């Protein structure tokens, strides 16, 4: 690996203000040396920066490229001082002090420096993930996000890319919500507007490094209150470099799922990732380029079973089944056989076309697979131009596309998913003087995801199935447009369903355009920065649950659900919501000033102020409506008029965020750091997007067919006789005062760092946060209190059914002890350890699109709902290491060439489980509540000493609460923890035909010891899984083996892979 790493060690990357070299120049007596010439040279590119020391001997050089530098100081009467090997990392100020010796300038005192281990210049929390870790640590799917866990206080959320989800990865830190992260690539945002997740993943081999700032970062960064992650792309150097790779992943060595013993088939994941990168100079010391491509082809399959109607049942023959009652006569059909003239022709036609016949024997008579396919292609280009020491520019452009068609167990239904992304960043840095610089940056992030039914924009209509009247808003409402069409869900209780249930026409076209200007001024002991960040956000998106409608056949009419279907009598029908598209537009502005003040030689104060102006969000398509509680004394009314565009929210303009931090250098290689700041998080667009579900643009009604005298049929599921004159809709609303309150978080930390040796540093401290006005949603704000009597008449607002209320009023509090130990690479070992002991408390669960508040009484929360958060993880230990095996280094000759130089690496994670809520099934409260909690049984402990997957807690400690709120607290128990070992083993073989060419062999093992990572147990009283664990938290993507082979030679790429291994074959060369 050594040659490969050297080839990549020193690329050019985007400059950032807080990446630099600072220091003091003094004479042998310790007096300051003014006007000394300081020259800083980038080893890889040859680019040089020159400054003079101030009257107090200080120098400060910012906007440097992360990489390796030589720093040289010259002053009359002194020998030249030179430090080589100075490594500067992203968002870091490396301190390099010089004490010059008396002598001639021609004499040189040279010292080889090491990368600073102590952060002596600011209080920002975070960790740099450098190229050495990106390359050598095992990464499942080659996603850089997985390495963020090497930062204390940080966890990562990564959804499956093979499903209907349009979700994305998130980096979560220090008590923040999942949706509060910010991620920038070369200084431009890389998250979407609707739900704030990462939209694309740059090719690993094109990344220089990245830093996760987990808290108390400078005023330059903001707009979201959580972790701020900055990625730096590589670029060319004065040497040409190229690499080709291919990674194959198969399923033969994948572990069998814990709950899928033989003879059940294993789940399957096959993946092929391939690509290349080429970089170098266009003009030496002036112009550099990098170009890369990576593709991925993958398939994920899970075996599944279900029950389908037999040929006899489709012919109306239910002999041997429970009695089938004729709803017209009230008596059993003779022989339990429905006469042919009574079979509904539409039912017969649809079942024969859209439900497969049995293919296995037994009661569970159908076996198949669900399948997700994944095809991604990404291209990246980057150009850097150094016109002079005063002007430098760069730009990058990334284009990525992900296609993910998904096939259900019923082979007649699938969806097509597409996700194209584009990212552009361009930057110009102009140096007016060594003390005054200006940076202007422009870019955009475009992400357009679409999950579509195959019937989208075709001549298909629901009426073509023989089903009439399924319109948005009821039988007299509007039919679905061609771009809304899909197959309505037909559910037969106990049998396979038919319909486009997951292909829900989910669209989200997110665009962000961003301009940033920063003026940096170094004046004496002050490093000042004045800046502005302007963003234009546009988002066209859908939000829907059942866009095409549903019909359910329950058996309430004949005593047999399949017989109900064959007769064509649905018990309940949900009218379509349609697929309305909200078009939201918003301006966001930020002004900030930051002063890093060197108050004394050993004390730096970081003083900043940021003002965020989150402009009024406008929905321009006229589909969003909310309840107004102030327009009618008889109760709330939907507003504005259908199709009219109004400002739904009242905006606020008071978002000032102060930042304070200090870094104090003490004797004995110690640093004390601390800080406080207020960080605002712009409300996600889901707060407005969800309002399109209100009628008439969206919204659905439930129509119930009388069991004793059915009127609705599959041909006419919403007859006029059953459709209410004044229908009662479910609605969505913002708070009655309509204030758009953006959440904010107060962060505070105090930490002590000690450099134990030249290669070891230990840091420990307290990190806390307090969240205010945190988003959640009250799923049923209109539920009545528990009690007897009809529910609708007892609702607070009986003119509506359920009201889902957007509620930015949650509070959180987080405290933690965080520790970090790092051993810099020496004697073949590099080690990074992050430990967090924390507690997160809140009074509502998650955010708008994550399931709602989880509160049983949404109008009376406070102390009743205050508890450990579902995001609370008490303990988390992550160890990352790379180790060149010592016993192989001593081998010489042919044995050394074959057996020597082996290297292992890994990420080991031990973590506590997350809390979960105890609920009860049914509606024992008689209030239509979503989150009904049971009562505690007096004298019973909810926990047990010997936990097993079969019995995780004391189920006897809970009893059903009837017609009153249960007294079980929110989230009283915690689920299983995590214990994973991801390992790698690799060796680089030098190729004999040319220096700089090598073959890399690499094997990776994910969850290497096949330890089951259990999910939370069943937590609903009254269900068969209550108290039992029935699934694992990690799927087969995380229980895998992978082998990588890499060849360094120019020429065609060939591969012979073995099943069960991801076999990367990489060709690499250096010019």
Asked if 990 and 954 count as a contact pair (C-beta separation under 8 A), the reply is: no
Whole-number Å distance between alpha carbons of 49 and 30? 26
Which residues touch 629 (CB under 8 Å, ≥6 apart)?
A: 636, 736
Rg (CA), the chain: 32
Quote the pLDDT of residue 733: 92
CA dist list (Å): 404 to 157, 203, 373, 710: 20, 19, 5, 42
Distance CA 782, CA 824 (A): 58
Query: What is the rounded CA–CA span in Å between residue 339 and residue 337?
Result: 6
For the record, the structure tokens of 771 come out as 């969240």
Residues with Cβ within 8 Å of 138's Cβ and at least 6 positions away in sequence, in order, are 905, 906, 907, 982, 983, 984, 1004, 1005, 1006, 1042
pLDDT for 463 equals 94
Backbone dihedral angles phi then psi of residue 533, each to the nearest 5 degrees: -130, 115
Cα distances from 1066 to residues 135, 240, 276, 1045, in angstroms, run 13, 17, 9, 6
Report the mean per-residue pLDDT for the chain: 86
Q: How many CA atoms lie within 13 A of 408 on its CB side?
A: 20
Residue in the structure block whose two tokens are 């399931």: 851
Higher-scoring residue by pLDDT: 961, 700: 961
pLDDT 10s digits, 1023-1050: 889 999 988 886 433 333 333 333 333 3
Beta strands in 683-802 (DSSP E): 702-704, 731-733, 743-757, 760-778
Calculate what percentage of the chain has a pLDDT beyond 70. 90
Only one residue has tokens 């906007």, namely 63
Distances (CA, A) of 840 to 751, 877, 896, 923, 928: 20, 17, 52, 31, 30
* pLDDT confidence of residue 889: 66
> How many beta carbons lie within 10 A of that of residue 242, not counting itself?
18
| Number of C-beta neighbours around residue 690 at 10 A | 22
Q: What is the pLDDT of residues 132-176, one digit of tens each?
A: 788 788 888 888 888 899 999 999 887 766 655 566 788 999 999
Residue 154 C-beta-side C-alpha neighbours within 13 Å: 29
pLDDT of residue 64: 83
Spatial neighbors of 318 by CB under 8 A, at least 6 apart, are: 312, 324, 333, 336, 337, 338, 560, 562, 563
Rounded Cα distance between 254 and 1061, Å, is 9
In contact, 281 and 237? CB cutoff 8 Å = yes
Degrees to nearest 5, angle at CA 562 with 556 and 566: 100
* 288 contacts 280 by C-beta, under 8 angstroms: yes
Minimal CA–CA distance to 616: which of 683, 531, 691, 690?
Answer: 683
Q: What is the average pLDDT across 835-849?
A: 84
Element spanning 243, H or E: strand 241-249
pLDDT in tens, 975-1029: 999 999 999 888 877 777 777 677 777 788 888 888 889 999 999 999 889 999 9
CB 433 within 8 A of CB 442: no
Query: pLDDT tens digits, residue range 190-229?
Result: 998 888 888 788 988 898 888 899 999 999 999 999 999 9
Residue 492 and residue 553 in contact, taking contact as beta carbons nearer than 8 Å? yes
Residue 368 has pLDDT above 80, yes or no: yes
Residue 487 in contact with residue 453, Cβ under 8 Å? yes
Burial of 775 (0-12, 13-18, 19+ CB in 10 A): buried
Task: Kindly list the domain boundaries of the chain, sorted by start residue.
Answer: 19-121
Can you tell me which residue has the tokens 């408390």?
A: 841
The predicted pLDDT at position 10 comes to: 32
How much is the pLDDT for 1056? 24
DSSP class of residue 563 equals H
Res. 443 pLDDT band, cuts 50 70 90: very high
Question: pLDDT confidence of 67, banded at 50, 70, 90?
Answer: confident
How far apart CA 42 and CA 20 sit, in angstroms, is 12
What are residue 374's DSSP bridge partners?
298
What is the mean pLDDT of the segment spanning 818-834? 91
Q: Is the dihedral of CA 620, 622, 628, 631 positive or negative?
A: positive
Reported as a single tens digit per residue, the pLDDT across 915-967 is 999 999 989 999 998 899 999 999 999 999 999 999 999 999 999 999 999 99
Amino acid 673: pLDDT: 96
Count of CB atoms situated within 10 Å of the CB of 504:
22
From residue 484, alpha-carbon distances to 456, 469, 497, 500, 503 in Å are: 6, 15, 21, 12, 11
CATH of the structural domain 19-121, one choice from 3.40.50.300, 1.10.3720.10, 2.60.40.1120, 3.20.20.140: 2.60.40.1120
DSSP per-residue codes, 369-384:
EEEEEEEEEEEEEEEE
Cα–Cα dist 197/161, whole Å? 13
Distance separating alpha carbons of residues 739 and 652, to the nearest angstrom: 7
Structure tokens at 599: 């108050």
**Count of CA atoms in the C-beta half-sphere (13 A) of 918:** 28
pLDDT at 254: 77
**Smallest Cα–Cα separation from 218: which of 17, 61, 59, 58?**
17
Q: Percent of the chain scored above 90 by pLDDT?
A: 51
Q: Characterise 485 by phi-psi region: left (phi > 0), alpha (psi -120 to 50), beta (else).
A: beta
Which range in 56-60, 80-84, 940-944, 1057-1061 is most confidently predicted, on average pLDDT? 940-944
Phi, psi of 690 (to 5 degrees): -70, -20
Q: What is the spatial distance between Cα 270 and Cα 255, in angstroms, rounded to a whole number?
A: 14
Q: What share of the chain is helix, strand, coil (3-state, %, to 5)?
A: 10, 45, 50
Helix/strand/coil (H/E/C) assignment for every residue in 487-502: CCEEEECCCCCECCCC
- What confidence category does residue 514 fall into, taking pLDDT thresholds of 50, 70 and 90? very high
Whether the pLDDT of residue 720 is over 80: the answer is yes
Secondary element (H or E) of residue 7: helix 2-8
Q: CA–CA separation, 109 vs 105, rounded Å? A: 10
Are the beta carbons of 305 and 366 closer than 8 angstroms? Answer: yes
pLDDT at 4 over 60: no
Contacts of 190 (CB under 8 A, 6+ apart): 183, 184, 198, 199, 200, 231, 423, 445
The per-residue pLDDT for range 751-764, each reduced to its tens digit, is: 999 999 989 999 99
| Overall average pLDDT of the 485-490 stretch | 93
Q: Please list, in sequence order, all residues whose beta carbon lies within 8 angstroms of the beta carbon of residue 396, skipping any fewer than 6 positions away.
A: 185, 186, 233, 380, 381, 382, 383, 423, 424, 425
User: Strands 618-619, 626-628: parallel, antiparallel or unpaired by DSSP?
Assistant: unpaired
Tell me: the pLDDT tens digits for 264-314? Answer: 778 888 888 899 999 999 999 899 999 999 999 999 888 888 999 999 999
389 vs 433: CA distance, rounded Å = 10
**Spatial separation of the C-alpha atoms in residues 266 and 302, rounded to whole Å:** 7
pLDDT at residue 111, rounded to an integer = 63
Give the separation between CA 729 and CA 899, rounded to whole angstroms.
72
Q: From CA 884, how far away is CA 904, in angstroms rounded? A: 6
Per-residue pLDDT averaged across 66-92, rounded?
Answer: 85
Residue 1066 banded pLDDT, cuts 50, 70, 90: very low
Tell me the pLDDT band of 836, cut-offs 50, 70 and 90. Answer: very high
Q: Classify 281 as helix, strand or coil.
A: strand
The helix or strand, by DSSP H or E, that contains position 899, with its residue range, turns out to be: helix 893-899
User: Could you report the per-residue pLDDT of 661-694, keeping only the tens digit for each?
Assistant: 999 999 989 999 999 999 999 988 888 888 988 8
* Joined tokens for residue 864: 């009743």
């Amino acid at each position: 690996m050594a040659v490969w790493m050297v080839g990549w060690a020193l690329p050019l990357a985007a400059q950032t203000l807080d990446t630099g070299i600072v220091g003091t120049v003094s004479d042998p007596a310790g007096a300051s040396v003014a006007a000394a010439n300081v020259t800083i040279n980038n080893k890889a590119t040859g680019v040089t920066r020159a400054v003079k020391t101030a009257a107090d001997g200080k120098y400060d050089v910012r906007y440097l490229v992360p990489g390796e530098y030589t720093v040289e100081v010259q002053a009359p009467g002194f020998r030249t001082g030179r430090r080589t090997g100075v490594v500067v990392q992203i968002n870091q100020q490396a301190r390099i002090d010089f004490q010059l010796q008396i002598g001639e300038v021609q004499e040189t005192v040279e010292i080889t420096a090491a990368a600073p281990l102590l952060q002596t210049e600011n209080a920002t929390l975070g960790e740099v993930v450098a190229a050495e870790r990106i390359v050598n640590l095992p990464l499942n799917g080659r996603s850089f996000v997985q390495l963020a866990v090497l930062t204390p206080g940080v966890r990562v959320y990564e959804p499956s890319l093979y499903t209907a989800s349009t979700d994305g990865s998130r980096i979560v830190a220090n008590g923040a919500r999942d949706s509060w992260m910010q991620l920038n690539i070369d200084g431009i945002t890389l998250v979407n507007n609707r739900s704030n997740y990462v939209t694309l993943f740059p090719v690993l081999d094109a990344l220089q490094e990245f830093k996760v700032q987990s808290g108390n970062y400078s005023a330059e960064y903001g707009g979201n209150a959580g972790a701020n992650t900055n990625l730096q792309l590589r670029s060319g150097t004065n040497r040409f470099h190229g690499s080709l790779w291919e990674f194959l992943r198969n399923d033969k060595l994948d572990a069998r799922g814990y709950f899928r013993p033989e003879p059940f088939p294993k789940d399957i994941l096959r993946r092929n990732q391939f690509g290349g990168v080429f970089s170098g100079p266009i003009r030496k010391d002036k112009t550099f380029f990098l170009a890369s491509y990576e593709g991925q082809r993958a398939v994920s399959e899970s075996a599944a079973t279900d029950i389908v109607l037999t040929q006899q049942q489709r012919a109306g023959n239910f002999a041997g089944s429970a009695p089938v009652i004729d709803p017209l006569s009230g008596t059993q059909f003779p022989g339990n056989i429905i006469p042919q003239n009574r079979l509904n022709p539409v039912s017969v036609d649809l079942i024969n076309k859209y439900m497969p016949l049995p293919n296995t024997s037994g009661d569970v008579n159908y076996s198949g697979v669900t399948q997700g396919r994944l095809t991604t292609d990404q291209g990246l280009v980057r150009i850097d131009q150094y016109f002079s020491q005063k002007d430098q520019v760069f730009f990058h452009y990334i284009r990525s596309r992900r296609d993910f068609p998904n096939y259900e167990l019923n082979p007649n239904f699938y969806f097509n998913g597409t996700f194209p992304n584009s990212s552009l960043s361009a930057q110009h840095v102009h140096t007016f003087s060594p003390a005054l610089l200006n940076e202007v940056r422009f870019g955009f992030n475009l992400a357009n995801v679409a999950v579509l039914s195959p019937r989208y924009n075709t001549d298909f209509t629901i009426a073509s199935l023989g089903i009439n009247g399924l319109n948005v808003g009821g039988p007299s409402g509007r039919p679905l447009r061609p771009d809304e069409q899909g197959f309505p869900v037909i559910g037969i209780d106990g049998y396979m369903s038919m319909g486009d249930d997951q292909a829900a026409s989910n669209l989200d076209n997110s665009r962000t355009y961003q301009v940033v200007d920063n003026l940096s001024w170094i004046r004496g002991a002050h490093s000042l920065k004045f800046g502005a960040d302007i963003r234009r956000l546009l988002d066209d998106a859908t939000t829907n649950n059942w866009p095409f409608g549903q019909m359910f056949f329950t058996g309430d009419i004949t005593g047999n659900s399949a017989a109900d279907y064959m007769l064509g009598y649905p018990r309940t029908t949900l009218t379509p919501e349609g697929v309305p598209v909200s078009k939201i537009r918003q301006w966001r502005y930020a002004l900030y000033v930051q002063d890093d003040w060197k108050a004394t030689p050993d004390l730096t104060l970081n003083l900043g102020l940021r003002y965020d102006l989150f402009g009024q969000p406008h929905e321009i398509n006229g589909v969003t409506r909310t309840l107004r509680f102030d327009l009618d004394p008889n109760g709330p009314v939907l507003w504005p008029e259908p199709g009219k565009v109004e400002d739904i929210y009242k905006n606020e303009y008071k978002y000032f965020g102060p930042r304070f931090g200090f870094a104090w250098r003490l004797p004995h290689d110690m640093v004390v750091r601390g800080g406080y700041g207020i960080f605002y998080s712009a409300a996600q667009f889901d707060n407005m997007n969800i309002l399109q579900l209100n009628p008439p643009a969206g919204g659905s009604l439930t129509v119930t067919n009388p069991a004793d005298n059915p009127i609705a049929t599959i041909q006419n599921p919403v007859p006029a006789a059953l459709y209410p004159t004044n229908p009662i809709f479910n609605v969505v609303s913002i708070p009655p005062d309509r204030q758009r309150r953006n959440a904010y978080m107060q962060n505070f930390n105090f930490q002590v760092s000690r450099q134990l040796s030249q290669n070891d540093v230990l840091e420990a401290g307290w990190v806390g946060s307090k969240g205010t006005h945190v988003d959640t949603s009250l799923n049923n704000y209109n539920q009545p209190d528990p009690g007897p009597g009809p529910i609708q008449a007892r609702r607070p607002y009986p003119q509506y059914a359920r009201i889902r209320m957007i509620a930015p009023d949650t509070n959180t509090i987080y405290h933690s002890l965080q520790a970090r130990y790092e051993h810099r690479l020496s004697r073949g070992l590099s080690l990074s350890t992050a430990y967090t002991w924390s507690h997160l408390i809140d009074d509502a669960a998650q955010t708008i699109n994550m399931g709602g508040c989880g509160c049983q009484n949404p109008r009376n929360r406070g102390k009743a709902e205050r508890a450990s958060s579902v995001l609370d993880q008490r303990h988390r230990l992550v160890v990352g290491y790379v180790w060149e095996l010592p016993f192989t280094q001593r081998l010489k000759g042919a044995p050394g060439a074959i057996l020597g130089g082996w290297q292992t690496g890994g990420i080991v994670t031990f973590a506590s489980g997350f809390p979960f809520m105890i609920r009860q099934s049914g509606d024992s409260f008689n209030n239509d509540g979503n989150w009904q909690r049971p009562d505690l049984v007096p004298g019973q402990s909810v926990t047990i000493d010997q936990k097993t997957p079969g019995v995780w807690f004391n189920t006897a400690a809970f009893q059903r609460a009837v017609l009153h709120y249960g007294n079980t607290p929110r989230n009283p128990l915690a689920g299983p923890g995590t214990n994973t070992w991801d390992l790698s083993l690799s060796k680089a073989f030098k190729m004999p035909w040319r220096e700089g060419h090598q073959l890399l062999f690499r094997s990776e093992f994910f969850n290497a010891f096949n330890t089951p990572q259990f999910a939370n147990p069943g937590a609903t009283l009254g269900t068969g899984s209550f108290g039992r664990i029935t699934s694992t938290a990690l799927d087969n993507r995380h229980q895998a083996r992978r082998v990588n082979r890499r060849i360094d030679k120019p020429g065609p790429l060939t591969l012979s892979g073995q099943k069960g291994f991801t076999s990367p074959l990489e060709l690499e060369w250096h010019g």
